[in-house]
Amino acid sequence: MNYYIIIPAHNEEKFIALTLDSLVNQTVLPAKIVVVNDNSSDSTSNIVLDFITKYPYIDLIEKTSALLHLPGSKVIQAFQTGLESVDENYDFIVKADADLIFPLNYFETIINHFQSDTTIGMAGGFAYIEKNGTFILENLTDKDHIRGAFKAYRKECFKQIGGLKPAMGWDTVDELLCKFYNWKVITDATLKVKHLKPTGANYNKTARYKQGEAFYTLGYGFFITSIAAAKLAMLKKKPYLFIDYMKGFWKAKLDKKPLLVTNEQAKFIRNYRLKKMKEKIF
C-alpha cells in the first residue's frame, strides 16, 4: 500500500531530525513525506533540507501563519497546505507531529491492519512520554482513541468524513464521523510511539477554553460535556481545568458557535457517547 505522511512543524529543531530518522528507516517506506514548516524562527527548515538531499521522497513547504499556537486550527491549516501539494496516488494518508519517534515496523503493521479488513478506516498506536528516564503511556484518552499526533486514514474513509476540520476537536470528530459512516477505528497497543514533547506544553489559558468550545461544537450537549471535562481534567491531574473547559463550553453556546457536524451526526455522537458511558458503568 502507498502511503503519504504530512507533518505540520513549528519550531521543532530539537525533535524533527529524530522524527524523520524514524520514518526513513521504516520497514515499509512512505511514498512521500511532506513537512509543512509553519512560521518557524529556528533551524527546522535547514534540518529538513538536509534530509531532502538524501531522501528525494521528502518535500518541504514553507507556510506563514499567526505566531499564536492554538490547538486544532493552526496545525490542521498547515496539514491542509501539505495535502494540497500531493496527488491522490495513496492508499492511506498520515497526519503526524514533528516530535515523535516511530517504531521501525510502525507502518508495516498499519498496512497489515488495513489489508486485513477493508472496513478499517483509521489505525494507529499509542503515545509514550518520558518520565524519570523511562517512557510510559501518555494516558490522556481511552484505549480505543488514536492520538492526533499520528493518525493514519484509509483514503476512502478520509474522503467520506470530509478530511480534517481546522478546529480544536478535529482528532475526535474524525473518529466519531468514521463510526457514523460505519468505518472501524483500530488501535494497536504493540505500536509504542515516543512523544518527545508533552501534549499541550505550549497551550495558554485561551487554548484551555478552546477545549470546552470543542465539546460544544462536537454536539456533546451539557451533560456529556460535564463528564468529558471532568474526566480530562482528572487525567491531566489538574482539576481546575474543569472550570476552564465549562467556561469555554458556555461561551461557545452563548456565542452560538457553529457545530463541526450536522444535526443528524450530533445526535449520533451523543447517543454513541452515552452508550460508551453506560458500557463503562455496567
Distance CA(140)–CA(127), nearest Å, equals: 9
Look up the pTM and report it: 0.88
Instruction: Kindly give, in sequence order, each residue whose CB lies less than 8 Å from that of residue 143, ignoring residues fewer than 6 positions away.
Output: 126, 187, 189
Rounded average pLDDT over 189-211: 77
- CA 220/CA 118 separation, integer angstroms: 30
How far apart, in whole angstroms, are the C-alpha atoms of residue 67 and residue 129? Answer: 26
- 10 Å Cβ neighbour count for 265? 18
268 has pLDDT over 90: yes
Ordered by start, the domain boundaries in the chain are: 3-195, 205-281
**End-to-end CA separation in angstroms for the chain:** 41
- Over residues 141-180, the pLDDT tens digits come to 677 899 999 999 999 999 999 999 988 889 999 999 999 9
Tell whether the model's pLDDT for residue 199 goes beyond 70: no
Residues found in the chain = 282
User: How many whole angstroms separate alpha carbon 4 and alpha carbon 261?
Assistant: 27
123 - beta bridge partners?
A: 152, 186
CA angle 278, 216, 241 (to 5 degrees): 80
Task: Give residue-wise pLDDT tens across range 69-92.
Answer: 555 678 999 999 999 999 999 999
Distance CA 139, CA 148 (A): 13
198 has a pLDDT exceeding 90: no
The pLDDT-based confidence of 140 (bands split at 50, 70, 90) is low
Least confident of 62-71, 127-136, 245-254: 62-71
Question: What is the predicted pLDDT for the residue at 64?
Answer: 84
DSSP letter at 258 equals P
Burial class (CB in 10 A: 0-12, 13-18, 19+), 135: middle
CATH class of segment(s) 3-195 = alpha beta
What is the b/e burial string over 163-194, where b = at least 16 CB atoms within 10 angstroms of the residue's CB? Answer: bbbbbbbbbbbbbbbbebeebbbbbbeebbbb
Please say whether the beta carbons of 249 and 257 come within 8 A. no
- The helix (run of H) or strand (run of E) holding residue 29 is none
Radius of gyration from C-alpha coordinates of the chain: 18
**How many C-beta neighbours within 10 Å does residue 69 have?**
17
Q: Indicate the SS3 state at residue 97.
A: coil
Task: Look up residue 158 and give its three cell numbers.
Answer: 478520509
Mean predicted lDDT score pLDDT of the chain: 91
